């Protein structure tokens, strides 16, 4: 009988816990409509940058291709015609393809690039129904000529590009000023600074 | 005659709408208690979710297993549904100034009718499980039959205490007898027994061994799909509403306002009390895990039944001495 009485206490305690949790702030981020803030140097979709005069930075040296551990990058270089230069140097990339299904988003291409031409952006929504659509060629990688030069790798904007939508204002996720917050049951336990944030 | 038909149609609509939104609120409340937002994609605040669910159930393929007994297999969901709705023929929701109840029929043996109908409800589950011709539904049906018979016993005993205090079997009479004090207070033990057995009667967590997704796939309704599955589902929620109504009528004063707070009409108090009881149900589901089957039976026969008998004897002695 004593044991049964204790069980009643346990049930009441359980009821109390579930009732309390009805009023606890939910950590859910309703993803497609609200997006989570990224780490500042998040590795997402690639981008080929330009110089301020509109010329392409890529010189077709294929260093990114040889640095790539997943063999995802295919570059075919070509000589620049003296009267119609694509890039400032002698050569440019006639064709530049990245297979995003092979890519492991390690960022080694970015580090290998001698002209800072290839960079990783925070964009991550690349889903498609066709496999072929994941092979990105210059037409999709290159910053459009009227859209500036692209983002330098060390001055990358934190989080999500403005055109991707609403960013969640959630305490428990990455905060650029405070660093990464470890959370447990809705409470912030400790704040760590990681990487180049802040 | 016509008035009765109109009343029935209105009541049917009210009960079905309540069922639909009880389901939505259950999912919301379960979600909140588990730190999730709950359904919120269909309509503002998820309010059109029941309509979406209904459309989905209607459009699903209606399967009958080869091994099933076709007639009984098709009949079972209707037995469940029919018995679930039949109870509302006598449930009073409020009273006019002259004391006549707001009900389709004012039966003076209302509580006996309730008990009879809810006993027939078991047939839907046991026939459905048996006629599926498949092992998991059969196990669910066997469990359901045993569980409902053993818990109905204690439930009836908890009713008898109230009957003795009220001195009538009419539901209106029982509510009127609670004008000064809810039977919740003198029959506290009976109320606790009723709450426990009511959860077992409607096969909900922690007594949902009849369905037991983790062990029996879906129990008695494993083989059902589409609207037939939907009928069982409706029956379960309507039964939940029924036991909440009974709890309100027998123990929580029905449409009597508590503490003399008569600024709200009686029906509003009735709805509030039923709502509170329904919330408690959902709360229980979010909190407690499923019982082991042998413990369920042990608890029913060795703990609940003796306590219910004790309560009955004590009440009888008290009534006799006064």
Peptide bond into B206 cis (omega under 30): yes
The answer to whether A191 contacts chain B (CB < 8 Å) is: no
Q: Is B33 in Cβ contact with A18 (below 8 Å)?
A: yes
List pLDDT tens digits, range A123-159.
Answer: 778 888 888 889 998 888 888 877 777 776 666 555 5
The answer to whether A14 contacts chain B (CB < 8 Å) is: yes
Contacts of B29 in chain A (CB under 8 A): 22
Contacts of A30 in chain B (CB under 8 A): 37, 40
Q: What is the pLDDT of residue A198?
A: 33
Tell me the two tokens of residue A74.
């295919």
Q: What is the pLDDT of residue A195?
A: 42
Residue given tokens 């309100």 in the structure block: B248
List pLDDT tens digits, range B287-301.
Answer: 888 888 888 888 888
- State the Cα torsion B150-B155-B160-B166 to the nearest 10°: -170
Instruction: Mention every residue, 6+ apart, whose C-beta is less than 8 A from residue A105.
Output: A43, A44, A120
Question: How many residues are listed for chain B in this entry?
Answer: 322
Q: What is the pLDDT of residue A111?
A: 87
Residues B159, B163, B166: CA angle, nearest 5 degrees: 140
The topology under which CATH files domain A46-150 is: Alpha-Beta Plaits (3.30.70)
What's the gap between Cα B201 and its chain centre?
A: 7
Q: Model-level pTM greater than 0.90?
A: no
Contacts of A26 in chain B (CB under 8 A): 32, 35-37
Q: Is A14 in Cβ contact with B288 (below 8 Å)?
A: yes
Positive or negative CA dihedral for A172, B31, B140, B277?
positive
Q: How far apart are CA B136 and CA B272, in angstroms?
A: 39
Does residue B264 sit in helix, strand or coil?
Answer: coil
Do the Cβ atoms of B73 and B128 come closer than 8 Å? yes
b/e sequence A159-173, b meaning 16+ C-beta within 10 Å: bbeeeeeebbebebb
A93 - beta bridge partners? A77
Taking residue B321's Cβ as centre, other Cβ atoms within 10 Å add up to 6
Instruction: Mention every residue, 6+ apart, whose C-beta is less than 8 A from residue B233.
Output: B57
ipTM for this prediction: 0.76
> Which element (helix H / strand E) includes A143?
none
Q: Going by DSSP bridges, is the β-strand pair A187-192/A180-184 parallel, antiparallel, or unpaired?
A: antiparallel
Q: Confidence band (pLDDT; 50, 70, 90) for B119?
A: confident
* Burial (CB count within 10 angstroms: exposed 0-12, middle 13-18, buried 19+), residue B123: middle
The answer to whether A30 contacts chain B (CB < 8 Å) is: yes
Q: Is A18 in Cβ contact with B36 (below 8 Å)?
A: no
A135 - beta bridge partners? A99
Q: List, in sequence order, every beta strand (DSSP E) within B92-223.
A: none
Q: Which of A22, A23, A28, A184 to mutate to test the interface with B (most CBs of B within 10 A)?
A: A22
Q: What is the pLDDT of residue A182?
A: 46
A74 - beta bridge partners? A97
What's the gap between Cα B88 and its chain centre?
A: 11
Q: Is B287 in Cβ contact with A15 (below 8 Å)?
A: yes
Nearest to A18 among B37, B40, B287 (CB): B287
The answer to whether A104 contacts chain B (CB < 8 Å) is: no
Q: How far apart are CA A42 and CA B228, in angstroms?
A: 50
Contacts of A14 in chain B (CB under 8 A): 287-288
B210 vs chain A: nearest CA distance in angstroms?
Answer: 22
Phi, psi of B289, rounded to the nearest 5 degrees: -80, 170
Instruction: Mention every residue, 6+ apart, whose C-beta is less than 8 A from residue A109.
Output: A46, A64, A65, A67, A68, A73, A118
Nearest to B286 among A18, A26, A186 (CB): A18
Q: Is A27 in Cβ contact with B283 (below 8 Å)?
A: no
Instruction: Mention every residue, 6+ apart, whose C-beta is less than 8 A from residue B200.
Output: B147, B148, B151, B207, B296, B300
B127 vs chain A: nearest CA distance in angstroms?
Answer: 34
Q: Is B283 in Cβ contact with A14 (below 8 Å)?
A: no
More confident residue, B265 or B189: B189
What's the start-to-end Cα distance of chain A, in Å?
A: 61
Domain with CATH 3.30.70.3270 in chain A: 46-150
Percentage above 90 pLDDT, chain A: 14
Average pLDDT for A95-118: 90
Q: What is the pLDDT of residue A184?
A: 47
């Amino acid at each position: 009988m004593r044991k049964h009485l204790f069980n009643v206490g346990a049930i009441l305690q359980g009821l109390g816990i579930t009732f309390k949790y009805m009023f606890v702030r939910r950590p859910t981020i309703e993803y497609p409509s609200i997006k989570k803030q990224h780490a500042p140097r998040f590795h997402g979709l690639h981008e080929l940058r330009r110089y301020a005069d509109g010329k392409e930075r890529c010189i077709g040296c294929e260093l990114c291709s040889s640095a790539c551990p997943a063999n995802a990058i295919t570059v075919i270089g070509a000589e620049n015609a003296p009267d119609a230069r694509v890039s400032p140097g002698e050569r440019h990339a006639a064709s530049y393809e990245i297979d995003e299904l092979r890519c492991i988003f390690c960022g080694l291409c970015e580090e290998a690039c001698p002209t800072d031409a290839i960079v990783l952006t925070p964009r991550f929504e690349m889903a498609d129904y066709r496999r072929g659509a994941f092979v990105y060629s210059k037409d999709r990688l290159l910053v459009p000529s009227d859209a500036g030069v692209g983002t330098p790798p060390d001055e990358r904007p934190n989080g999500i590009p403005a055109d991707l939508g609403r960013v969640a204002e959630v305490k428990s996720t990455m905060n650029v000023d405070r660093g990464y917050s470890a959370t447990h049951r809705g409470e912030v336990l400790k704040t760590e600074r990681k990487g180049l944030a802040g | 005659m016509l008035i009765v038909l109109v009343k029935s149609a209105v009541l049917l609509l009210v009960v079905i709408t309540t069922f639909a939104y009880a389901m939505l609120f259950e999912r919301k409340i379960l979600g909140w208690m588990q730190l999730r937002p709950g359904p919120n994609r269909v309509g503002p605040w998820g309010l059109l979710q029941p309509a979406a669910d209904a459309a989905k159930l209607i459009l699903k393929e209606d399967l009958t297993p080869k091994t099933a007994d076709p007639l009984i297999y098709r009949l079972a969901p209707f037995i469940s549904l029919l018995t679930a709705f039949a109870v509302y023929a006598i449930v009073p929701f409020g009273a006019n100034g002259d004391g006549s109840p707001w009900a389709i029929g004012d039966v003076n043996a209302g509580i006996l009718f309730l008990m009879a109908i809810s006993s027939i409800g078991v047939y839907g589950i046991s026939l459905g499980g048996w006629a599926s011709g498949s092992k998991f539904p059969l196990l669910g049906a066997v469990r359901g039959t045993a569980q409902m018979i053993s818990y109905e016993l204690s439930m009836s005993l908890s009713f008898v205490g109230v009957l003795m205090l009220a001195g009538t079997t009419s539901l209106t009479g029982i509510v009127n007898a609670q004008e000064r004090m809810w039977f919740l207070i003198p029959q506290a033990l009976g109320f606790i027994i009723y709450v426990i057995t009511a959860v077992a009667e409607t096969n909900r967590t922690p007594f949902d061994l009849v369905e037991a997704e983790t062990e029996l796939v879906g129990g008695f309704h494993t083989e059902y799909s589409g609207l037939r599955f939907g009928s069982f589902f409706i029956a379960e929620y309507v039964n939940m509403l029924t036991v909440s109504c009974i709890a309100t009528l027998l123990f929580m004063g029905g449409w009597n306002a508590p503490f003399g707070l008569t600024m709200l009409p009686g029906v509003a108090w009735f709805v509030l009390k039923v709502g509170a009881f329904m919330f408690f149900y959902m709360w229980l589901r979010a909190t407690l895990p499923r019982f082991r089957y042998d413990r369920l039976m042990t608890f029913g026969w060795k703990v609940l039944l003796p306590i219910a008998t004790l309560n009955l004897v004590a009440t009888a002695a008290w009534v006799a001495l006064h």
